[in-house]
Structure 1
Amino acid sequence: PDLVVFSGNQIAGYEKVFAKTFQRRRWQESSNISSSDKKQLVDKVHEFVAKLMKPLEDRSIPWVVTYGNHDFQCGLNNEELDKIYQDFPCCMNRSASSTSSASAMQSTKCVLPKQIIFTCEPGTFALPVMDEKHEKVVFSIVLVDSGDYAKSGGYGSPSKKTIEFISGLSSYLPEHICVFQHFPLPQYYRVLREVPQELAAREHAIEGYRTFAGRYYALDEKHVLPDGYLGEGISCPDVDSGEYAALLDAGAFALIAGHDHRNSFAAKDPESNMLFVATPTCGFGSYGPEPAKRGVRLLEFDIRHPFEPRTQMLEFGNLVGKPSSKKAYTYALTAESEHELPEVDLLRKPSLLTRLIRRWRQRSTR
């Protein structure tokens, strides 16, 4: 590939190996970490990143990362993690050199020394993609740090600085961007169809998360491309942070998210025609689809229609072979990682009053 994108949660910060430095929420005070523990933590993460990126580094394949809701939990913030990633020659991440909303810099210390990068903050930056003659920018690949957790509950959103960065991209880049981030947006629910609860089991519908709890959804064939599947409710922020409007202002033609472990689909937003993409778990360190269905998503851009990328899943079962159900490791691959975190109810079940009001509305519309 020309570029590999890691969409967050490269580091499972909740694992027992990070127990000494674990930070459950960014705004909570963490215990004082000794200098020796901090050094051990940095070395540990650096060693892990080296193993993770070795196939790419050995082949001089450029790669980039953004951040999810578990990376920081290891005890390192995104800026500290970014410094570790940037130690590797093929990493295209760069830190902003000024306090302005965006600054352009040439990637002089990596495998693509002439690549221009517009930086904002760790995990948020833009990579202009030139035509084959290097005469003009066709579109830009934009990575967005979509946040981690909201103090009010549920998942977080991009920072105000990141939203302003997205909105301002059209000032210095063509209005065509392809965005990669960790969390999907609430607008992803537009490409689903709501299924009556009594038909949910028959249609393999999935209950929505938090603000969408109590309702059941299936992929809408009118909007979703073939071979997609929905294995869990779309885990998005409770409220619209304004990111969707900013993406429209910047001319986003695709948004690729990687948080939902059991969802895999590509669909066209019925209102904007933006391509919404969900990609399931890639590795075997956390829950996800069956082992054979885990994998990476390929996007191919053709200069004849650069804003209509072709996409498909490259799955473990097709690339390596389906694991035998008789082998002991099959369970281990589908089991969740070992941790001591308290359970979190992501569904946020609706109250009795909410259920009664919803039932009354359903009856009144009949």
Structure 2
Amino acid sequence: MTGSAGCDVRLRFRPDGTFRVLQLADVQDGPDVSRRAIMLIEAAVKRADPDLVVLTGDQIRGYDPAFERTYVNRRGDAPGAPLPPGVRTEAKMARVGKCVRGLLHRHNTGAASDPVEEEDTETKVMRCLSGFLGPIVSRGIPFAVTYGNHDFQCGVPLERQDELYRAFDGCLNPVDSLEPGTFGLTIDAHDGRQTAMGVMMVNSGDFAADGGYGSPSDDAVAWLGDVVKDVGAPSVVFQHIPPPEIYDCLVPVGRFTTNAIRGYRAHSGTCYVLDQEHSKPGSALREHPCCSEHNSGEVRAMKNAGGYFALFCGHDHTNSFITHHDGLDMGYTPTCGFTSYGPRGKDHALRVFEFHESDPASYTTELLDYGDLLGWVPPRALQHTFGDRALCDAGCIGDMLRKPSVRAALGVMGAVGAAAFGVVWHRLQDRPQSFPISEGAPGGGH
């Protein structure tokens, strides 16, 4: 193993031979974390009763207007890079709201200026972390953190973010890890005599220099191939961005196939559906997997090393499938956040795993979703109707049009429109015709 845990916690299976892990993916929020997200995390933690919580990246919405002064779009950008177009409008609205609050404060108090000072970025980040970690830390549950493609964009380097996480009780991120977010944890047998399972956290990168998303570093891939031998026990990997092999788990189909999803970038010329034969019940492919176009060799290194039985990720907020390919489970956990896009409100979820000491690869897992834990979610107009899916390009629109519910709605709208047109047309046809008589024409008089 590389590094030591950030706190003095020894993980082990329970006396009954089980170990429970709760995966939290894509909170993706600003300093003031959504109340619904916190409620969902709290309810999921209570229901799951986990021995470990893993956070798999994009905890921080780095492009949030609150981080406008320090925002970086790509590594190497100067702080204060232009926000994404849609967020610029959000930032302007936030500034207008701040001005209005300042005017009201001056009107009500007579003060010459708004006394509230601007928080520095680290203070804002700590507020964000305190929000989603609260339900975990308050119960004394150990947690491990890796990073996604938006965390760094707030302007706080990942090395410093690691330090901020370690300020919370229960953080297992090592002080001397290979890189922020890449490290391993061992789970002892219930009697503490041997290692029974390994949990590997991998920093899967952020953005590729030539476009698209990143992939694990060469050092991380080499480490992943070696560390499982040191652990000497079946191991599972958690990271943010899925590997390119995720497309090997899908079935290419025609572009008019119901519920088909068009691929991403290099795969955009093909539509896909799940391989139902090798997917766990309840699996759902709701958007194209946004993997890197560069194959880092991560999956190949895992298979060559042996010992790995599963890789779970986040990143694609609406996907929730688990499928098996070439000896390895690959799966998703959807977003639990409510500030970015995601599935319908009731389907925002965390994933709980129960591993068994005698055979960790024979794990069970389920999604703990908002609808089941907390009930009704107030609809968000069209976002609710179309599943909160971001309409980012023509491919997304095509994916939406392949949904049976949307096709049915469009069919009803078309039928109603055709019926209305038919009624109007027949009324026009049955209407008595009258023609003007020109002056001087036969039958015309003075």
Tell me if TM exceeds 0.5: yes
Q: Is the 8 A contact 1:284 1:334 kept in 2?
A: no
C-alpha deviation, 1:41, in angstroms: 0.6
Picking from 206, 211, 219, the partner of 1:161 is 219
> Where does structure 1 lack aligned partners over 5 or more consecutive residues?
97-118, 338-342, 349-366
Partner of 1:285: 339
Partner of 1:16: 65
Measure the CA separation in 2 of the matches of 1:173 and 1:43: 37
Are residue 216 (structure 1) and residue 271 (structure 2) matched? yes
Measure the CA separation in 2 of the matches of 1:22 and 1:346: 28
Partner of 1:254: 310
Measure the CA separation in 2 of the matches of 1:279 and 1:59: 23
Q: Is the 8 A contact 1:181 1:257 kept in 2?
A: yes
Cα displacement string for residues 180-211 of structure 1 (whole angstroms, at most 9, x for unaligned residues): 000111111122111112x32xx210000011
Q: Which moved more, 1:300-309 or 1:64-73?
A: 300-309
Q: 1:68 to 1:332 in 2, by over 3 A?
A: farther
C-alpha deviation, 1:95, in angstroms: 2.2
Which entry has the higher C-alpha Rg, 1 or 2?
Answer: 2
Q: 1:83 to 1:75 in 2, by over 3 A?
A: same
Q: Which has the higher helix share?
A: 2
C-alpha deviation, 1:285, in angstroms: 1.2
Cα displacement string for residues 228-282 of structure 1 (whole angstroms, at most 9, x for unaligned residues): 111101110002111111222152111000111110011111x2x2111111111
Q: Return the letter of the residue paired with 1:94.
A: P
Partner of 1:355: none
Cα displacement string for residues 84-120 of structure 1 (whole angstroms, at most 9, x for unaligned residues): 0000011111121xxxxxxxxxxxxxxxxxxxxxx32
Q: Which has the higher strand share?
A: 1
Q: Return the letter of the residue paired with 2:165.
A: Y
Q: 1:346 to 1:124 in 2, by over 3 A?
A: farther
Partner of 1:27: 76
Measure the CA separation in 1 of the matches of 2:388 and 2:171: 31
Measure the CA separation in 1 of the matches of 2:394 and 2:194: 45
Identity, in percent, stands at 37
Q: Is the 8 A contact 2:313 2:331 kept in 1?
A: yes
Q: C-alpha root-mean-square deviation of aligned residues, in Å?
A: 2.6
Q: Is the 8 A contact 1:254 1:275 kept in 2?
A: yes
Partner of 2:127: 47
For residues 1-366 of structure 1, what are the structure 2 equivalents within 5 Å? 1-30=50-79, 40-96=120-176, 119-197=177-255, 199-200=256-257, 203-248=258-303, 249-269=305-325, 271=326, 273-325=327-379
Q: Return the letter of the residue paired with 2:170.
A: C
Q: 1:332 to 1:60 in 2, by over 3 A?
A: farther
Measure the CA separation in 2 of the matches of 1:332 and 1:216: 23
State TM-score, norm by structure 2. 0.65
Measure the CA separation in 1 of the matches of 2:163 and 2:260: 43
Task: Kindly indicate whether structure 1 or structure 2 has the higher relative contact order, using CA contacts under 8 Å at least 6 residues apart.
Answer: 2
Measure the CA separation in 2 of the matches of 1:324 and 1:28: 39
Q: 1:83 to 1:39 in 2, by over 3 A?
A: farther
The count of aligned residue pairs is 311
> Where does structure 2 lack aligned partners over 5 or more consecutive residues?
1-49, 82-116, 397-446
Measure the CA separation in 1 of the matches of 2:211 and 2:394: 9
Q: Return the letter of the residue paired with 1:237.
A: S
Q: 1:70 to 1:316 in 2, by over 3 A?
A: same
Measure the CA separation in 2 of the matches of 1:40 and 1:333: 38
Q: 1:178 to 1:135 in 2, by over 3 A?
A: same
Q: Return the letter of the residue paired with 1:58.
A: S
Measure the CA separation in 2 of the matches of 1:83 and 1:38: 23
Measure the CA separation in 2 of the matches of 1:24 and 1:9: 14
